[in-house]
Amino acid sequence: MHNDIEKVLISEDDIAAKCAELGEQLTNDYDGKFPLAIGVLKGALPFMSDILRHINTHLEMDFMDVSSYGGQMRSSGEVKIEKDLDTKVEGRDLLIIEDIIDSGLTLSYLVDLFKYRKANSIKIVTLLDKPTGRTSHIKADIAGFEVPNEFVVGYGLDYQEKYRNLPYIGVLKPEIYSGK
Ligand code: XMP
Ligand code: MG
């Protein structure tokens, strides 16, 4: 375990098993279709990479980068597009892949945007769900694990851009935030 981590919440093995399980479910959901899988950068990258290898249908991939946090630990409520899709979403079946839903502001913005762009269907899969943080009405169609109201890092999730490369989800030692 990394020295800055206080405890591991979700192990590498548990994440791998969950990706296989959810991937199988999505294989059934998209049977015979050609969905557009949209990864929300940067946090969703490891999860997207792992879950897509368990989805056994043709699919297309694209990425979107939005910011709402500005390096802070709480959502500012403002969502800004840093990188838009390269693909047209009109008439497409969209699978939005997220690392975590906290307030839900990022996803409610994206869902509204993709509805406006006339997507045929929109499904959300998130690795983590933090329901206690919710300030919007958004709900994941598929969620891997529920996490408590703690700031989590690892497997894509960062604190000041660090820890994204950890293979598990963990909680940082308090002294890391306080800078001591
Ligand atoms: P909202 O609040 O819009 O947030 O649902 C979604 C984005 O906020 C980030 N986020 C976190 N990042 N640990 C992190 O490293 C957390 O506990 C956490 N909670 C929210 C994340 O980028 C997510 O996509
Ligand atoms: Mg994110």
- Establish if 1 belongs to a structural domain: no
Give Rg (Cα) of the chain.
16
Contacts of 159 (CB under 8 A, 6+ apart): 73, 151, 153, 172, 176, 177
Q: Check which CATH number belongs to the domain holding 112 and give it.
A: 3.40.50.2020
- Establish if 51 belongs to a structural domain: yes
Domain that holds residue 84: 12-150
- Establish if 178 belongs to a structural domain: no
Other C-beta atoms closer than 10 Å to the C-beta of 146 total 10
Give me the interface pTM, i.e. the ipTM. Answer: 0.91
Confidence of residue 73 (pLDDT cuts 50, 70, 90): low
What are the distances in angstroms from CA 105 to CA 65, 82, 101? Answer: 14, 16, 9
Please tell me the number of the ligand nearest to residue 158's CA: 1
Instruction: Report which of residues 92 and 72 the model is more confident about.
Output: 92
Which atom from ligand 1 is nearest to the alpha carbon of 40? 24
- Establish if 104 belongs to a structural domain: yes
Ligand 1 centroid to Cα of residue 157, in Å, is 8
Whether the predicted pLDDT of 71 surpasses 60? no
- Establish if 155 belongs to a structural domain: no
- Establish if 2 belongs to a structural domain: no
- Establish if 133 belongs to a structural domain: yes
Q: 């406006």: which residue's tokens? A: 116
Whether the predicted pLDDT of 111 surpasses 60? yes
Report the domain count for the chain: 1
Which atom from ligand 1 is nearest to the alpha carbon of 104? 5
Around ligand 1, the residues with Cβ closer than 6 Å are 40, 43, 68-69, 75, 98-106, 151-153, 157-158
- Cα of first residue to Cα of last residue in the chain, in angstroms, is 20
What are the distances in angstroms from CA 145 to CA 27, 35, 113, 119, 163? Answer: 19, 24, 26, 27, 19
pTM of the model: 0.93
